[in-house]
Amino acid sequence: MTREALKTLFYPFEADALALPATGARMLFLGAEPGFSLPDGFDADLTVVQGFRPYFRALTAAGYSTVPAPEGEGYDGALVLCGRHRGQNEAWLADAIERVRTGGLILVAGSNDDGVASLRKRVEKIVQFDGNLPKYHGLAFWFTRSADASAAISALGDQKSDGLADGRFIAAPGMFSHDRVDAGSKLLAECLPDTCRGTAADFCAGWGYLSVALLERTSGLKSMDLYEADHASLEAARQNLQAVAPKIPLGFFWQDLAAEKVTKKYDLIVMNPPFHQGRAAEPEIGQAMIKAASGALKSGGRLFMVANRGLPYDETVRAGFSRAQELRREAAFRVVVAYK
């Protein structure tokens, strides 16, 4: 999706439907992803916003000024690359309107497959468009930030407010399973041991459900660290764990476990690893997480993991652990404990 949508986003400049920003103009790019090419003559001072750690690192390596969450105000314009999550898209638009000066350009684009046409219809009821342009199986539309944008920010910004998953956990659109506890994590939580000692970590922690489950189930842990690649999810996890473990040292690591080495060693790791970034299954992501967990466990340490039954993880588990045991198997998931 993103490769074509990135082209769609910059096409209005290339087609002369929009004038290029002035040299040195301050532009904010929300939802930026690696691989985009700026049009010739696009000399704005660009701040790109990307909270997914692998993309953040790639954008930083490409030389862009990159931040994990929107910050600052008074920008001359904003670019918004939309994805599949309606709530997240609208929250980004609210951020763009709030942070751009009066009269500044806000340019939005996305893929037809991700519902950009529906987004356009919703936003068109809130702000007055200056133009739109379809291209590359997507759509770009743009508007000018009005002097009084409070109503638009309020209408779109409802999605910025953190909601509650399962009635108690802070989460927000764009996070994995933001509106409920997913079935795999719930199954793994039921299989966690009642007595644990030493140091523990939650790999691919999301907004912290498994960490909370482990801390509520046992009282013998010395510390708990959370590792998560999505910055917003990690910040939500920080809030979700505040009341659960007021006396246990907690660590929060915004980290790409597939590419950034874990320097600490643990007695116990819990994990519900992701297996895709787009729509297609990518089991190598989960395999990389299993390898990272093996490398971060002490001798004799244990990994408690849940995964979809059809994913090819057994060989990776055998290579990284002395033995493994299946604890539960249901229609879609299986829970495994592996010993280092």
| Count helices and strands in the chain by DSSP H and E runs | 10, 16
Point out the least confidently predicted range of 149-158, 201-210, 330-339.
149-158
What is the percent of the chain with per-residue pLDDT over 90, rounded to a whole number? Answer: 79
* pLDDT at residue 2 in the model: 64
- For residues 189 and 314, membership in a common domain is answered with yes
- For residues 191 and 155, membership in a common domain is answered with no
Say if residue 151's pLDDT is above 80. yes
- The mean pLDDT value for 87-115 works out to 95
Looking at 132, 160, 188, the residue that finishes a domain is: 160
* pLDDT at residue 159 in the model: 55
Boundaries of domain holding 311: 180-339
Any idea how long the chain is?
340
- The mean pLDDT value for 245-274 works out to 94
Q: Is residue 28 a contact partner of residue 75, using CB atoms and an 8 Å limit? A: yes
- For residues 147 and 192, membership in a common domain is answered with no
Residue 274: which residues within 8 A CB-CB, separation 6 or more?
176, 204, 285, 286, 289
HSE at residue 169, side-chain half, CA atoms within 13 A, is 27
Provide the b/e sequence for 231-253 (b: ≥16 CB within 10 Å).
bbbbbbbeebbeebbeeeebebb
Q: What angle (nearest 5°) sits at the alpha carbon of residue 294, between those of residues 288 and 300?
A: 165
Say if residue 184's pLDDT is above 80. yes
Average pLDDT, the chain: 92
Point out the least confidently predicted range of 86-90, 133-137, 277-281.
277-281
Point out the least confidently predicted range of 96-100, 143-147, 192-196.
192-196
Evaluate whether residue 225 is within a structural domain: yes
- For residues 151 and 190, membership in a common domain is answered with no
For residue 158, give the 3-state DSSP assignment: helix
Say if residue 243's pLDDT is above 90. no
10 Å CB burial of residue 310 (0-12, 13-18, 19+) is exposed
Looking at 125, 160, 195, the residue that finishes a domain is: 160
pLDDT tens for 45-74 read 999 999 999 999 999 999 999 999 999 999
Give the Å distances, CA to CA, from 339 to 64, 148, 290, 312. Answer: 42, 60, 12, 19
Q: Rounded to two decimals, what is the model's pTM?
A: 0.93
**Predicted confidence band at 255 (pLDDT cuts at 50, 70, 90)?**
very high
- For residues 25 and 91, membership in a common domain is answered with yes
Evaluate whether residue 171 is within a structural domain: no
Give the Å distances, CA to CA, from 273 to 66, 282, 291, 318. Answer: 26, 11, 11, 17
- For residues 16 and 98, membership in a common domain is answered with yes
Say if residue 280's pLDDT is above 80. no
Evaluate whether residue 135 is within a structural domain: yes
pLDDT tens for 7-39 read 999 999 999 999 999 999 999 999 999 999 999
- For residues 241 and 275, membership in a common domain is answered with yes
Structure tokens belonging to residue 299? 């001798």
- For residues 112 and 34, membership in a common domain is answered with yes
pLDDT tens for 200-222 read 999 999 999 999 999 999 888 99
Say if residue 131's pLDDT is above 70. yes
Evaluate whether residue 109 is within a structural domain: yes
- For residues 328 and 190, membership in a common domain is answered with yes
- The mean pLDDT value for 313-340 works out to 95
- Report the CATH number that the domain containing residue 144 is assigned in CATH: 3.40.50.150
Looking at 102, 131, 160, the residue that finishes a domain is: 160
- For residues 209 and 325, membership in a common domain is answered with yes
- For residues 142 and 260, membership in a common domain is answered with no
Number of domains in the chain: 2
**Predicted confidence band at 277 (pLDDT cuts at 50, 70, 90)?**
low
Evaluate whether residue 139 is within a structural domain: yes
* pLDDT at residue 281 in the model: 57
Helices 116-124 and 86-99, axial angle in degrees (round to 10)? 50
**Predicted confidence band at 158 (pLDDT cuts at 50, 70, 90)?**
low
* pLDDT at residue 162 in the model: 56
* pLDDT at residue 80 in the model: 98
* pLDDT at residue 118 in the model: 94
* pLDDT at residue 232 in the model: 96
Say if residue 239's pLDDT is above 80. yes
- For residues 156 and 23, membership in a common domain is answered with yes
In DSSP terms, 297 is beta-bridged to 266
Evaluate whether residue 175 is within a structural domain: no
